[in-house]
Amino acid sequence: MKIGSKLLGLLILTAFLMSGCVQSPQGNTTTTANTSAPITGKVKIGFAMATVKEERWQRDQAAFQKRCDELKEQVECVITVADNKADKQLSDVEQLLTSGINVLVIAPQEATQAAEMVKKAKAKSIPVISYDRLINSDQLDLYISHQVPVIGKKIAEYALEKAPKGNYVMVYGASTDNNAVIMRKEQEAVLKAAKDSGDIKIVAEQHITDWKPEEALKFAENTLTQNNNDITAFVVSNDGMAGGVISALGNKNLAGKILVTGQDAEKAALQRIAEGKQSMTVYKPIIPLASAAVDAAIKLAKKEPLTDAKPFMNDVIKKEIPAILLEVTIVDKDNLMTTVIKDGYASFEDVYKNIPADQRPKQ
């Protein structure tokens, strides 16, 4: 009878241990969200954004949320915004991981620091998507963005075509943002021959902290003063900074007389293009990007293959990571009607708001 009792006790203990109800030796508990098994129910996605200060990022936030709402039977999405503060983004990510998300999407404030966020997620077997801006990590499950190298190349090619000779000023994005670094590399490659031949001279160049328009304005003012306004082109890497540059030009009655590039197709930039103050921008459809990110997150959670992903080399860490890169389009005064307006990205009335009715193109 005693032997039977001991045997029964041993069987109970064995069953208890096999049930997984006992803590691991490290004292960590494991939740469904933190295992590497495919998710069979609703997927919880955490999206840690660096900022929504610019119009472009407001569009991303709205488009991401819209796609989540469309798939509300399949997903739950939590979006955080770090207000351009790397430490706050780290805190946001830690809270998202604690909340039991199944997939983490990061639009990083700082590319290198964000690699630590990736490590924290991977320690819990949570897939990570680097959104728009590339994180310096080889543990990424996906990098999804527009064709950043192509953007840098197209901006420089446009400038060189329209202004093949003269003094150039290079206005780059934040040095902590991989996109800015990638674009700079491509722009330098395009302009190298013209620079070496002496056709163009780069009289000033600067990375602008957090892509701030007010810093771009100050840089443009100083550069104009130092060069007696003898500038042919400001090669600017986004529309927000282009707005700052154009404000500086306006203060000297030079707006529209010097080539200014941009990126993001912000409404204000499109209006400046219509007015002739900004030369061009790069149109990057945001809805397809945000939707693709949500769709990819669901697939990663369910361990489904990302058939559209292709290897992309991160030159900083010298490693390839899976990437989905969407196409981009140059927009200038000649094709406003056939690009952003035709696609419904911006309305005719918004774009030509500051143009007299008799000077607007026919619809």
In terms of Cβ atoms closer than 10 Å to its own Cβ (0-12, 13-18, 19+), residue 121 is buried
- Give the type of residue at 238: N
Global pTM value: 0.84
Distance of CA 115 to the CA centre of its chain: 15
Give, as one character, the DSSP assignment of residue 339.
I
User: Half-sphere exposure of residue 92, counting CA atoms within 13 Å on the CB side?
Assistant: 25
Determine, yes or no, domain membership for 94: yes
Residues 224 and 246 in one domain: yes
Nearest-angstrom CA–CA distance, 175 and 130: 17
Residues 53 and 194 in one domain: no
Hey, is 335 helix, strand or coil?
Answer: coil
Determine, yes or no, domain membership for 22: no
- Give the type of residue at 149: P
Determine, yes or no, domain membership for 17: no
Per-residue pLDDT tens over the stretch 259-283: 999 999 999 999 999 999 999 999 9
Residues 241 and 165 in one domain: yes
Per-residue pLDDT tens over the stretch 138-167: 999 999 999 999 999 999 999 999 999 999
**DSSP per position, 159-192:** HHHH--SEEEEEEE--TT-HHHHHHHHHHHHHHH
List the chain pLDDT tens, one digit each, 363 residues. Answer: 444 444 444 444 444 334 433 333 333 333 333 445 777 789 999 999 999 999 999 999 999 999 999 999 999 999 999 999 999 999 999 999 999 999 999 999 999 999 999 999 999 999 999 999 999 999 999 999 999 999 999 999 999 999 999 999 999 999 999 999 999 999 999 999 999 999 999 999 999 999 999 999 999 999 999 999 999 999 999 999 999 999 999 999 999 999 999 999 999 999 999 999 999 999 999 999 999 999 999 999 999 999 999 999 999 999 999 999 999 999 999 999 999 999 999 999 999 999 999 999 988
Give, as one character, the DSSP assignment of residue 33.
G
Torsion of CA 30, 35, 40, 46, to 10 degrees: 90
Determine, yes or no, domain membership for 52: yes
Determine, yes or no, domain membership for 16: no
Nearest-angstrom CA–CA distance, 158 and 150: 12
Hey, is 234 helix, strand or coil?
Answer: strand
Nearest-angstrom CA–CA distance, 146 and 154: 13
Contact criterion met (CB below 8 Å) for 158 and 281: no
Q: Which residues sit opposite 49 in a β-bridge?
A: 81, 107
Residues 132 and 180 in one domain: no
pLDDT of residue 38: 77
Report the mean per-residue pLDDT for the chain: 91
Q: Which residues sit opposite 319 in a β-bridge?
A: 314
Give, as one character, the DSSP assignment of residue 22.
S
Contact criterion met (CB below 8 Å) for 243 and 272: yes
Residues 105 and 202 in one domain: no
Q: At what angle do helices 286-301 and 55-70 cross, to 10 degrees?
A: 50
Per-residue pLDDT tens over the stretch 49-101: 999 999 999 999 999 999 999 999 999 999 999 999 999 999 999 999 999 99
Q: Which domain holds residue 78?
A: 37-146+286-326
Residues 89 and 109 in one domain: yes
Determine, yes or no, domain membership for 157: yes
Torsion of CA 352, 282, 212, 314, to 10 degrees: 170
Residues 260 and 352 in one domain: yes
Q: At what angle do helices 86-98 and 114-122 cross, to 10 degrees?
A: 10
Nearest-angstrom CA–CA distance, 260 and 22: 64
Residues 295 and 166 in one domain: no
Residues 243 and 154 in one domain: yes
Nearest-angstrom CA–CA distance, 361 and 363: 6
- Give the type of residue at 5: S
Residues 177 and 142 in one domain: no
Residues 206 and 180 in one domain: yes
Residues 304 and 223 in one domain: no
CATH number at residue 186: 3.40.50.2300
Determine, yes or no, domain membership for 338: yes
Nearest-angstrom CA–CA distance, 342 and 181: 32
Determine, yes or no, domain membership for 18: no
Q: Which residues sit opposite 117 in a β-bridge?
A: none
Contact criterion met (CB below 8 Å) for 311 and 322: yes
List the 128-131 sheet strands across, edge first: 75-81, 43-49, 103-107, 128-131, 142-146, 319-326, 310-314
Whose tokens are 């064709």? That residue is: 147
Domain count, the chain: 2
